[in-house]
Structure 1
Amino acid sequence: MYQSQEPVECDLCREPVTFFCRQCVLSLCDDCVPVHLRVKCKYGHDVVDFASKDAEESNFCESHPERKCSTYCKTCDVPICLQCAAIVHKLHDIFELSDERKLMKEFAGKKARFQSLIDQLEKVLSHTVKQLSALSSFYQKMKHKVTARGEIWHKLIEKMVKKRHKELDVLKMESKAVLQTQKKEIEKMIGKMKEKIVIATNIQETKNIIEMQKIRHIQETLEIIQYTFSSFCECQIDENVLETMFGFIEMPRESKVTLVERNMISDFEPIAKLKVPTISCVIDTGFPTKEKNKSRLYGMAVTNDMKLCVVGSNKELKLFDFIGNLHRTMTVNCDGVYICIHNGQIAFSDTLKNTVKKISENDTVTNMLSTGMWKPYGITATMSGDLLTCLLNVDQSKVVRYSSTGTVLQEIQYDSQCQPLYKIALYIAENVNGDIIVTDYKARVVIAVDRFGIFRYSYSGKNKDFDAYSLATDSVGNVFITDFEGDKVHLLDRDGQFLRYIVPEEGISRPRAVCIIGDELCVGECKTGLVKKIKY
C-alpha cells in the first residue's frame, strides 16, 4: 500500500507551506511571508508559489514560439514578443513586461501590502464594534449631563423664585406700614374736617356774620400721598438664546481617512546614543519675567528657512538664527503661547478670541480659523498640510483636524469605550507613522492615537512626578517630551516605549518648549528664557 505524502511544512513555523523563497531556499506559509520579507537580503528575496518553485521561466509568444514575451498589449489584452510589438501591434497600447522572478517578488510584496490594509481595516473594525457596544451607555451619560444641566437650571429658577418671593414679602411689609400710616393720617384729617363742620354748624345756627366771613374766605388744601403696589415685570423669553445658554448638542461629524498600502519592511533605525548629551549652543531670548508665575519663554518652532521662532511673556514673536542672532521681532497683541509652522507661515493660538491666526511675510496677522466656543491651545501642522489643534471647553477637551481653509476634517474626543481621551489636551505633535500625540496637562500623561483616532498608547513617566508639557518627534518616530518639574526630557520610541532621559551635563531648568533641528534637540527653559541646543 502507498502511504499518503507528508505535507510540506513552513521552515519558520511548521505550518503548511504555500510559498517558496528561491533566493534563501526557504519554504514559507502565508503568515511568514511578511516576516521573511522584513529580513534584509543582499540580493533581494525571490518569493514564488511553492508549486512553481522548480518551474522554469516559460512565457513564450503564441505567434512566435521561439521568442519570449517581453511586452504586453493592453489593446488586445495579450502578452507579445518584440517582433509582434514592432509589426502587428505597432499602433497599440503596449508596455514592457517585468521579469517573472521580479514580478513574483513584487507580487508577494503586494500581497503583504494587501495584508497591511486588512490589518488597518480590522483595527478600525474592532474600534467600531467597541463603540457600538458602548453606544447606549455613552448616550445615556449624555442624557444624564443634560438632565443635570436642567436640574441646575431648576435650582437656579427655584432660587430666583424664592429671591423674588422674599423681595415681595419685604415690599409687602413696607407697603403695609406705609398704608397704615396713610390710613391714620387720613383718619386724622377726616376728624379735623368733622370738627370744622361742627364749628361751621354752630356759627350758622347763631348767625354770627363776622365768623361766617372769616371761614368763608379760608381755602382748605389737603395733601395726601397715594401709594401704588409693586408689579412683576416679565421679560420675554427668547428660546434661541435659552438654548444657547442651556447648551446644545453637537452633531456627529464624518471624517474620511484614506487607507494606504504599507511596506512591511521597516525603514526605522534606532538613534545612536551619546554617553552624555552635550549643549552645542545657548540662545538668550530676552523675554521679561512675568510677575504672575515668573515665566518668560512659552513656545518654539523652526521655520522653513531654518530660523528659530520663539514666543514669550510680552506677547512678542522673535526670530533667531542658531548662532543666537536676533533677526526679527513681531508683536501679536494676544495670548498666543502655542505656535507652529503651517504651509511656511507662523501660526499661533489666540485663546482669548478662540481663533487660530497666522503671520504673513509682511508681518500682517490674519485669522486662519475660528474654534467657536472652544479655546485653542497646542497646534501642529501635519504632513498632509492639515492643522491639528487641542481644544478646551469648560470640562471637555478634544483634538480637531482642520483643512488649510478651516474646514473640520476630524474630531478626536473619545476612546473605543466612548470614554473621554483627554482632560486638558495641551500640546500636540504628529509622528511620522501618522500617530497623533498629546500631552494632557491635568492627567499628567502623554496619550497617542493613530491617524484614525484610535487609542495607541499612553505614557505617564517612570515615576509619579511626571510633569509633561511640550513634545516633538524626529524623522524616525522617536518622541521627546519635556518634564517641567523633573528638569529633563523623556525619550520614547514610536510605540511609546521609554528609551532614556536626556539631561546634558550642564543641566536644564524648567523645560517647556521643545523642537527638533536636524539631529539636535532645542529645549526652551520657561523661567530663564534660554534656548539650549542639545546633541543627544
Structure 2
Amino acid sequence: MSESSDEQAAMQHYLVCGAEDCQKNGQFYCNACHQPLCEQCRDEHQKSPNTKNHEIVLYRHRKHQLPVEKCKDHPTRNIDIFCKECQIPLCSKCSTMEEHNGHKFDDLEDIYAEKYALWQGEFSKIQKYFLPTSQDLKTDIEEDAKQIKKTMESIRISMKANAESLKNLVDVVTSENIEHTHTLEKSLLKKLKSQEKTYDDYISYLWKMSDEFQEYLSITNQKLLFKSKTLKIQPIPETTKPVPPVFVVGQFNKDDVAKLLGKVNVPNKEPENRKIQPMETVTTQLKSTEKQLEQSKEKSDVKQTPSLSSSVTKVRKYSVPGVDNACHVSVDKSDRLWVSDRSGNLVQTDLQGNQLQKIQTSGENEGYHTTTQDGDLIYTDQDKKVIYRITPDKKITEFIKTGDWTPISVHSSRVNGDLLVGMIKTGEAKVTRYSKTGKKIQNIQRGNQGQELYEWPHYITENINGDICTSDLNKGAVVVVNKSGQHRFSYTGQGAKFWPYGICTDVLGHILVCDNYSNKVHLLDQDGGFLSVILSPQQEITCPLGVCVDDENNLHVGQWDTNTVSVYKYLQ
C-alpha cells in the first residue's frame, strides 16, 4: 500500500495508541514492542531507560512482528535467530550448541520483515497492476468481440445486398432475352404468313388454269383446241424454310458466380500485440489519483453521521474450518454464521469457529446465500438453476426453479421475508423478487429510459427504506433502485477503479460495500453519498469480499486470502 493511501486511511479512522490508558492517534510504531504509539508516548518511550534504544518509526514503516514458533529442542524458547552457515532458524539456546560454534547469525525478525515487505510488495503489484491491467485487457477483448460481431453482421448485410442486386440484374437480362424471343417469333411468323399468301395466290391461279383447260378439253369445244395457242402453266413459286433461333446456354460455374458476388478476405498482415502499460506508468497514475483524493478530502467539508464512532474497533476474529477463504458471510439470529468460499464450500459455524454444517455447492465468490427470519438458509445452485432452502433441522428442499436464468445472488428481506435474487442470462441480467412462499412478484431489469440496469449482480441486499442495493462487478457500480424498481442512483467508487463485492446495510440506512480493487470497505448514506472508508489495509484488511451486520450492529468481514472472519464495532 502506498504512503498516500496510508495517510488517507489515517485521516478517516486512526489507530489507537498501544500505551496503557492512552486513546490518542497511534501514528508511530515501536518495532521492539510491536505496538502503535502516539507522539507523546513515543517521546516518553525514548526517554525511558528500559526502552530508549527501541527503534520507533512511522506506523506505515513498521516492522511486522515475527510469528511465535517454539523450538522443538528447547520448548521454552522461541525461534528468533537464523544461522547463516546452516541456513536454518534457531532459538538463542541452539546458537550456543557445539554444532553452531563460530557461526554467524541474523535476527530472524529482520529477515521476516524483509521477506514480508517483499511479498507484500509483490501482492500489491498483483492488486494494483497485474489484476487491473489484465482486467483492462479482458475488457479490450470483450470490446473487440463486440466490434467483430458488428463487422461480420455488416459484411453479411452487404453480401445479401450484393446478391439481391445480382438477382435483379439477372431478372432484367432474362426479361430482355424473353422479349427478344417474342420479337424474333413475330418476325418469323410474319415471313411465313407472307409465304402462305404466295401459295394461296398460286393455288387460286391453278384453279383458274384448271377451269380454262377443262373448257378446251370439252368435246363441244374441240375447234377451240385447234385454234388456240398452247397454254403454259407458271412454275410453283419458291419459298425458303425459316431458320429457327438457337438458345446458347450461358457458360458459368460456382466460381464465376462467387466472383460476381465477391468474397470475404482476411488481410494478410500480422495482428498487433495489445498494449500493456508498464508497471511504472500505472504506479505513477495510482499515486497521482491517491494524492488527488487526499487533497479532495482535505478540501471537502463532509459532515460525518453523528452516530458513527470516531474510530473502528476490532471486536474479535475467528477462523472458519472447512473453507479456504470467506467470500460471503450470512449471520442468523441464533448467533451462527454461514460462510462460503471460492470453491463452493458452504459452512455453518458458531462464533467460536466450530463447524456445525458443511454443504458442497456450485457457488464461487458471489453472495449466493442468505438466512431468513425463521432461521432457514436459502442458497442458489447456478448449475441446476434452482434455489434451495435448508430448515434448522437440516432438511434440504428445492424451493424455486428459475428456468433459463442463472441465480447468482440472493437476500432475504428483514422487513417482509421476500427474497431478492440477482440473475443472469446470455447478454441479460435482472433482479427478481419472490414472496416467502416462492411466488414471483416482481422483475427489475431496465431503467426509466429502457436502459439495462445490471450486467453481473453478484451481491444484493435491501435497505431500511425498501431500496434494493446491488453490487454489480461488470458495471463497476453499486446499483440502487427503490422498492418499485425505479433507478435511484449508481455509486461508482472514489477512484479510477472500483470493484464492488460484498454489500450490506445497517439500522441507520448506511450502505457498506467492499472495494476489492483498493482493499477497502466504503460507507455510504442511503442516498449514495460517500461518508468514509470504514476499513482499509491499515486495519489489516486485505481483499475484503463478504460483509454483513448482525443484530448487535457488529460488522463481520470475510476476505479473499484467509478463512478468518474479522468483527468490528463502528457505531457508538
TM-score, L = length of structure 1: 0.47
TM-score, L = length of structure 2: 0.44
More helix by share: 2
Higher Cα Rg: structure 1 or 2?
2
